[in-house]
Chains A and B, each alone.
Chain A
Amino acid sequence: MNFQFSPEDENFRQEVRQFFQDSVSPEVAHFGYVGAHPPPRDVLRQWQKTLHARGWGAPHWPQEFGGTDWSPIRKHIFLEEMLNANGLDYGWQGTHMMAPVVIAFGNEWQQQTFLPPLLSGEVFWCQGFSEPNAGSDLASLKTRAELDENGTHYVVNGQKIWTSDATIADWGFFLVRTDSTVKPQRGISFLLIDMKSPGITVRPIISIDGGHGLTEVFLENVRVPKEQLVGEPGMGWTYAKYLLEKERTSSAFIYFNKRELEKAKVIARAELIDGVPLLETPVFARKVAEIEADILALEWSVLRILTKEELRDNLDAVVSTLKVRGSELQQRVTELQVDAMGPRALRFFSHDARQKDACDEWDDLWPAHTLGRTNMYFFQRASTIYGGAREVQKNIIAKLAFGL
């Protein structure tokens, strides 16, 4: 065993840190801090262009597609430093979900058509997986894609829900049913759809944090050239599982958890109880410490997976522990912020009130570092629901770790 980052990796960290210090604009930092969903499109575009100009638009892609040759540890360091600097990890659906599938299973035309504009920040993607009656039970999805009489286009009908950021996305990758005669998982395909296609209607869903990020997407006789089906028909379920396996550790939200913990400390240092910083009171200090200890454990769990420890336990069960613990920490750490803020936490900031201009005028009564924290706390109720609900993750653990 070797418990240290190598000196080269430490140097790399300094280089990345410097880059983010120099390149995170006030606009980006605002949305990185506040977390209003979604940030304005031009802020996102500019940010992706900044990363791309440095050659870091999608470091986890293979080099031949514009990625890097970084080790998993370096990719980890990169993301950690980016979030610490309040950079945005917003194009995630495109760069981390669609792209790996197109790189692994797409053809050359798909790779050349869809990857470069994603890298350069010209195009944003959304993900159409869940449906009203296919949430935790995703395999029961019903959105149909049928070849037309000429055999040149799929005609897509159905409804997706919880599609993040479809209002600002140019393209979406969808799981659709192309064959209803086989067992559910076998009849699903992975289809790339232009969100401007006739027959697509996007309806924003206002979430309890006041955000506009979630949407419903209605597809009515949407014609999609069959060239936009990735890989083989009927293999969509396999590809979706592949992309989840590529992103084993992301469900821990370790960078988010670490950063939000630091914000909680900043708030708790500024809040006073009888003249003493809240963070220095035994009760609150203990609460912070309990959460921090769990975050440190989670971080090293992530490192164990990233460095490919040869586990004696079932890998998928261990990965599910990252999701279970990570999502609970997302809720605990944002609750910690709300509890640190005390009565101040009760003011509700609308989506508009969390935009940059609205926040530039601020006064002593409402410290800027408290902005958006309560909204974030509300939004984090979703962390144990999306991406495989906590209950489903626990079923996976029981089954794979213990054969139950």
Chain B
Amino acid sequence: MDFNLSEEQLMLRDGVERYIRDDYGFEQRRHQATTGEGFNREHWQTFAELGWLALTLPEDVGGLDCSFVEASVVLESFGRGMVLEPFISSVMLCSRIVDRSGSEYHRQALLPALIEGRLLLALADSECDTRFTLGCIEETLARRTGDGYQLNGLKTMVFDAPSADKLLVTARLDDHPHPAIFVVDRTAPGVEVIEYALVDGTRAADVRFSKVNLPATALLIEPSQSQPILEEASDRAALAVVAQSLGVMHGVMDMTAEYIKTRSQFGQPIGKFQALQHRMAEMFVEAQHARSILYRGMAYLDKPAEERARAISAAKAATGKAGRFVCAQGVQLHGGIGMTEEYPVGHYFRFMTLLEKRFGDTDFHLARFAKGY
């Protein structure tokens, strides 16, 4: 075993950390979150130029064919920077679905453009009453027409939909229990995107499909193939969220340690109080073990589905709990200032609220893990 990053991975880490520190300041992020699309296209273009959008994709579509380790290095820094750009949706989730779809047509049509930063994707799957279930087709139906399909239905909480060029839409087809997955232009006639902001400042939408006519080529994955592909991609994305959470925890701890060294009450820096020192120590314990379970999750990414799912669930559940604790204590140790919108630590708390639920909350993953007993 060797848990050390290679020389190249270390260079990547230094590069991302420098970018987040120097070019992704909190004030700018705060402004960006409430403006326009809720993120900055120039950052996205830079990510593309630096190769970060290409990391995990294969070479034949322009990718760098790296392991998940490289992605986790980038994601950890993105967590620390609370990066708003739709990296998880486009790069970690949707590009994986497309890459594994078996559709050479869509791979070549979508992935090079995505890598170059010209195309954004979002997965439109969840429906009104589905919580964290994958492959939701109770309310979305595709019907075969003469030369293609017609799509009707309603998806909710579609992350990053408002800015996406194309949506990967799950829908019932031919009464199959599992979904067909279609590639649908976000601006196609009959697609209505009802946008809203999320707790971290990013955007999502309810998306209504009313008699949306699709060509035969719009079918990305047949119902018989879709479920394992969705689950694998979602598992990887869940682990990506674990890596982000780790960055959040370190961001919170650094900021909080700095604060309690300088904030004085009762005639001394409050960091001198043992109660607060122990709290910081407890946060450190959580973060260390979160890193360990992230690594363990990575070790299981290519194992058979059931083993993979349990390892990811263990990582997501443990980190959801750890991240919440660390962020809550970060706010607590800051006192009133931690409650303000002007100060970063409360944004970490809000971001962690989202991360805990993204791709399944702690309860969902504990239940999934326990199914293996």
> A residues within 8 A CB of B276?
391
Q: Is A338 an interface residue (CB 8 A)?
A: yes
Which residues of chain B from 227 to 284 have any CB-CB distance to chain A below 8 Å in the complex?
Answer: 264-266, 273, 275-276
Do A365 and B206 contact each other (CB < 8 Å), given the known contacts A208-B350, A345-B353, A381-B349? yes
Q: Is the CB of B198 within 8 A of A346?
A: yes
Q: Is the CB of A381 within 8 A of B204?
A: no
Q: Which of B196, B339, B350 contacts A214 (CB 8 A)?
A: B339
Q: Is A130 an interface residue (CB 8 A)?
A: yes
| Smallest CB gap from B340: residue in A | A205
Q: Which of A344, A345, A374, A381 contacts B332 (CB 8 A)?
A: A381
Flag B128-140 by CB within 8 Å of A: 1 or 0 each. 1101100000000
Q: Is B336 an interface residue (CB 8 A)?
A: yes
Q: Which of B199, B342, B357 contacts A342 (CB 8 A)?
A: B357
Which residues of chain B from 322 to 373 have any CB-CB distance to chain A below 8 Å in the complex?
Answer: 328, 331-332, 335-336, 338-342, 346-347, 349-350, 353-354, 357, 361, 363, 366-367
Q: Is B152 an interface residue (CB 8 A)?
A: no
How many chain-B residues does the 8 Å CB contact rule pick out?
A: 42
Q: Which of B132, B156, B336 contacts A382 (CB 8 A)?
A: B336
Bound-complex Cα distance A392 to B214 (A): 63
Q: Is the CB of A348 within 8 A of B199?
A: yes
Flag A369-396 by CB within 8 Å of B: 1 or 0 each. 0000010011101101110011100110
B341 to nearest A CB, angstroms?
4
| Smallest CB gap from B198: residue in A | A346
> A residues within 8 A CB of B346?
207-208, 378, 381
Which residues of chain A from 337 to 370 have any CB-CB distance to chain B below 8 Å in the complex?
Answer: 338-339, 342-348, 350, 364-365
Do A374 and B199 contact each other (CB < 8 Å), given the known contacts A342-B357, A381-B328? yes
| Smallest CB gap from A270: residue in B | B129
Q: Is B197 an interface residue (CB 8 A)?
A: yes
> A residues within 8 A CB of B266?
136-137, 140
> B residues within 8 A CB of A381?
328, 331-332, 338-339, 346, 349
Do A365 and B128 contact each other (CB < 8 Å), given the known contacts A346-B357, A347-B197? yes
Q: Which of B197, B338, B357 contacts A345 (CB 8 A)?
A: B357
Chain B CB within 10 Å, residue with most, of A347, A348, A384: A348
Bound-complex Cα distance A390 to B276 (A): 11
> A residues within 8 A CB of B347?
208
Q: Is B57 an interface residue (CB 8 A)?
A: no
B197 to nearest A CB, angstroms?
5
Q: Is the CB of A385 within 8 A of B199?
A: no
Q: Is B126 an interface residue (CB 8 A)?
A: yes
A300 to nearest B CB, angstroms?
27
Bound-complex Cα distance A195 to B346 (A): 30
> A residues within 8 A CB of B336?
130, 135, 161-162, 214, 382, 385-386
Do A343 and B339 contact each other (CB < 8 Å), given the known contacts A381-B346, A381-B349? no
Q: Is B157 an interface residue (CB 8 A)?
A: yes
> A residues within 8 A CB of B198?
346-348
Bound-complex Cα distance A65 to B26 (A): 52
Do A208 and B273 contact each other (CB < 8 Å), given the known contacts A133-B264, A135-B336, A342-B361? no
Bound-complex Cα distance A207 to B342 (A): 8
> A residues within 8 A CB of B335?
135-136, 385, 389
For the complex, would chain B's binding face be called helix, strand, loop or mixed by DSSP majority? mixed
Q: Is A283 an interface residue (CB 8 A)?
A: yes
Do A343 and B132 contact each other (CB < 8 Å), given the known contacts A207-B341, A338-B353, A381-B346? yes
> B residues within 8 A CB of A391?
273, 275-276
| Smallest CB gap from B199: residue in A | A348
Q: Is the CB of B131 within 8 A of A342?
A: yes
A255 to nearest B CB, angstroms?
22
> B residues within 8 A CB of A207?
339-341, 346
> B residues within 8 A CB of A135?
265, 335-336
Bound-complex Cα distance A381 to B354 (A): 16
Q: Is A284 an interface residue (CB 8 A)?
A: yes
> B residues within 8 A CB of A331?
328
Q: Which of A214, A339, A395 contacts B363 (CB 8 A)?
A: A339
Q: Is the CB of B350 within 8 A of A339?
A: no
Q: Is A272 an interface residue (CB 8 A)?
A: yes
Bound-complex Cα distance A379 to B199 (A): 13
Q: Is the CB of B206 within 8 A of A284?
A: no
> B residues within 8 A CB of A273?
131
Bound-complex Cα distance A331 to B339 (A): 14
Bound-complex Cα distance A143 to B273 (A): 26
> A residues within 8 A CB of B131?
271-273, 342-343
Bound-complex Cα distance A344 to B131 (A): 8
Bound-complex Cα distance A210 to B33 (A): 14
Bound-complex Cα distance A309 to B357 (A): 45
Q: Is A104 an interface residue (CB 8 A)?
A: no
Q: Which of A133, A162, A208, A382 contacts B341 (CB 8 A)?
A: A208
Q: Which of A205, A284, A348, A364 contacts B128 (CB 8 A)?
A: A364
> A residues within 8 A CB of B331?
208, 381, 385
| Smallest CB gap from A363: residue in B | B206
> A residues within 8 A CB of B275?
391, 394-395
Q: Is the CB of A136 within 8 A of B126?
A: no
Q: Which of A272, A283, A344, A348 contacts B197 (CB 8 A)?
A: A348
> B residues within 8 A CB of A395?
275
Q: Is A43 an interface residue (CB 8 A)?
A: no
Chain B CB within 10 Å, residue with most, of A136, A347, A374, A381: A381
Q: Is the CB of B367 within 8 A of A210?
A: no
Do A385 and B332 contact each other (CB < 8 Å), given the known contacts A208-B349, A346-B199? yes
> A residues within 8 A CB of B154?
365
> A residues within 8 A CB of B363?
283-284, 339
Flag A148-177 by CB within 8 Å of B: 1 or 0 each. 000000000000011000000000000000
> B residues within 8 A CB of A378?
199, 346, 349-350, 353
Do A384 and B157 contact each other (CB < 8 Å), given the known contacts A339-B361, A378-B350? no
A51 to nearest B CB, angstroms?
30
Identify 12 residue pairs between A and B in the complex whose beta-carbon atoms are under 8 Å apart, listed by A's number. A135-B335, A136-B265, A205-B340, A205-B341, A206-B341, A206-B342, A272-B131, A347-B199, A348-B201, A374-B353, A381-B338, A386-B336
List 18 extra interface pairs beyond A207-B341, A342-B132, A343-B131, CB under 8 A: A130-B336, A205-B342, A208-B346, A342-B131, A342-B357, A342-B361, A343-B357, A347-B199, A348-B201, A365-B154, A378-B199, A378-B349, A378-B353, A381-B328, A382-B336, A385-B335, A385-B336, A390-B332
- B residues bordering A, Cβ < 8 Å? 126, 128-129, 131-132, 154, 156-157, 196-199, 201, 204, 206, 264-266, 273, 275-276, 328, 331-332, 335-336, 338-342, 346-347, 349-350, 353-354, 357, 361, 363, 366-367
Closest 6 CB pairs of A and B: A208-B346, A137-B265, A206-B341, A342-B131, A348-B199, A343-B157
